Each structure stands twice: as C-alpha cells, then as structure tokens.
C-alpha cells in the first residue's frame, strides 16, 4: 500500500483537538479520515506529528496515510480539499513517501508559535486566534526568563499532570520572542523549537513568561520554578487559541521537489 505524507493547515477553534475522540466530538483527524473515506471506502487511520489540543491551530501539521490506490499527490491533495469543505482544514502539500516514514516517529524537530496581543480594546478580527492581555509587557524581562529554560532540563513544572510522556526531560533548542505593531496595541510572538514537547509545555511556558513581562515574576523566579520540578510552581497556563504548530522537520523533507 503506498504511503502519503500530508501537510495540513487548520483552524483549531471548532475542534476538540487533533486526535479522534471516543465521544465522537469533532476532531481534525476524524475530518481528514472522513475525506479519505470518500476517496477509498473503508476505515482509515492516520498518524500525525503532534496531537494538538482543543482550540490549537496548525499551519504545517504533518500526517501520513496508507492508501490502496497509487494516487498522483497533487490530485490526492485536491480531492481531499474538496471533501474537507466546509471544515476549516486544508491539505497544503502531499507526497508519496517510503513505507518506513512515520509522521510522528520520523520527526526530528517541531516548531510552535504563540501569538499574544497586548491591548485594551477587545480583538475582533483575530478573535479565537490570539491570547489577549493588558498592555505593558517588558520584552527584555520575558527574554531573560526564556533564557532560563533553554537547553536540557527536567520540565516537570511545565507539563500537564495528564502528560503521558515517559520522561519529563526535554531539550528546548530555542525560544525567540519578537514584538510587532498591532492596531491599538502590540503583538508578541513566542517561537519555540525542540525535538518534541510535553503536554501543555508551550502553553505553560508562555503563561509563565507573560507573568514575567507583567512584572508579577522576575526572570530568576523562572529558574526557581524550573528547579522545583513541581507542577504547582508553574505560572498560569495560557489559553490554547494563540498556539500554532508551524513546522515539523525530518531527516529529508518529504515535500521537497
């Protein structure tokens, strides 16, 4: 059976997350599997690089699917997009890949971006796509707090108690925080890169760094919280709507060429 890699963009707002739900709640995985079923009858099970939570978006999720027919990748992407309507899910790219390619286990890195808007007036056009807080964040302080978490650490403090990862130890390669003009305020973008992340790790980190920017925490407090290895030491977990999965890397780009 030929295997295909799919690069997928979606608005996570209407979904209970990427993963198919036992309670038949809407999920991105189920939407794509239904579309595949329109092309080839029968049950389909696809695997993704990251199981994003309810409300989390993606601009470059990667999944793989095994199909019976030898599809032209361009035609497969077009057909899937036709059957995905009106769900806010789109196949951006499709490629036939070797049988040993696995969207999750072959990945060597993942990148997330979190969008935070600081302004007093309610956001309108980006409602459901950013986290809004009051203005007055200190960018330098947030960058200093972020620096405390770069590298290999036990991230018990910054992972959900429901996390199923075998180890809380992860290597955080990068946290870049940039500032951008936004109508009536300022947008802060947090870009985090690692081989893999723990459940709720990004939202826990961003929620804590927002407290640093607001002056409720110091950068040194981040170091203390990390060393505590205690979930109770974490700052508030920020809401999901500002979080985007923006990139997955592999030893060889499946969509190149």
Identify whether the C-beta of residue 6 lies closer than 8 Å to the C-beta of residue 83. Answer: no
Which residues does residue 245 pair with via DSSP β-bridges, in sequence order? 58, 112
**Interatomic CA distance for residues 214 and 200, integer angstroms:** 21
- Known active-site residue 53: yes
Which residues does residue 182 pair with via DSSP β-bridges, in sequence order? 185
Residue with the two structure tokens 């980006």: 126
**Interatomic CA distance for residues 50 and 253, integer angstroms:** 17
**Interatomic CA distance for residues 160 and 202, integer angstroms:** 11
Catalytic member of 11, 53, 100, 230:
53
- C-alpha triplet 93, 94, 96: angle, nearest 5°: 155
Residue with the two structure tokens 């992860």: 170
* The token pair that represents 137 in the structure block: 């964040």
Identify whether the C-beta of residue 121 lies closer than 8 Å to the C-beta of residue 133. Answer: no
**Interatomic CA distance for residues 188 and 129, integer angstroms:** 13
> Which residues have a catalytic role annotated?
53
């Amino acid at each position: 059976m030929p295997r295909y890699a799919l690069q997928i963009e979606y608005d996570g707002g209407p979904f209970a997350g990427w993963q198919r739900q036992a309670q038949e709640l809407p999920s991105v995985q189920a939407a794509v599997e239904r579309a595949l079923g329109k092309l080839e009858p029968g049950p389909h099970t696809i695997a993704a690089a990251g199981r994003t939570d309810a409300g989390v978006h993606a601009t470059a999720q990667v999944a793989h699917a095994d199909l019976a027919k030898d599809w032209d990748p361009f035609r497969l992407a077009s057909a899937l997009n036709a059957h995905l309507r009106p769900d806010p899910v789109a196949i951006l790219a499709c490629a036939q890949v070797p049988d040993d390619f696995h969207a999750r286990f072959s990945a060597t890195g993942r990148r997330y971006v979190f969008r935070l808007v600081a302004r007093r007036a309610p956001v309108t056009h980006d409602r459901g796509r950013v986290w809004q807080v009051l203005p007055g964040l200190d960018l330098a302080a947030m960058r200093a707090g972020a620096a405390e978490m770069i590298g290999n650490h036990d991230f018990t403090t910054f992972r959900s108690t429901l996390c199923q990862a075998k180890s809380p130890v992860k290597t955080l390669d990068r946290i870049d925080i940039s500032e951008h003009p936004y109508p009536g305020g300022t947008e802060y973008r947090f870009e985090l890169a690692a081989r893999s992340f723990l459940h709720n790790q990004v939202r826990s980190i961003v929620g804590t760094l927002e407290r640093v920017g607001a002056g409720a925490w110091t950068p040194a407090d981040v170091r203390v919280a990390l060393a505590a290895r205690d979930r109770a030491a974490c700052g508030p977990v920020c809401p999901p709507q500002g979080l985007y999965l923006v990139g997955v890397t592999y030893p060889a780009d499946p969509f190149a060429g």
